[in-house]
Amino acid sequence: MAKKTEKFKVGKFKLVIASSNDALSFVKTLQEKFPGRTRSLEEKKRLRKYLAGYDADYLRGIARRVLIDVVRGPRLTPADPGKSSPPPPAAGRKGRQTSTTRQTGPKTRARAGSERKR
């Protein structure tokens, strides 16, 4: 069990963040040892016992790295020949077309139902 972690100081707190490779290997090992989605009570106890063998700061560091990597998204590397260029931006709504001449004066007609009561 390789425990390569980095410690960062944020305010008065010391945060432990694992490397991406360490987090990936931890998650893969966890998936291999505990496959499937539904777990019986015995499997849950075995999982808790397995996780108890790790330091709490190390597990928090793994969790932080997983969240960082998920939020960051996939990274394109030269070693990945299948994706040589970034994907095109998602097609969104077109911007609102504005006219070149704007009316600056008061409106000529009042809208229906917007009469002032005095």
pLDDT in tens, 54-103: 999 899 999 999 998 888 887 666 665 665 566 666 776 665 556 566 66
Q: What angle do CA 74, 2, 9 make, to 5 degrees?
A: 70
Per-residue pLDDT at 98? 60
Residue 57 has a CB neighbour count (10 Å cut-off) of: 15
Higher pLDDT, 81 or 24: 24
**48: confidence class by pLDDT, cuts 50, 70, 90:** very high
Q: Enumerate the domain spans of the chain.
A: 5-72
Per-residue pLDDT at 36? 81
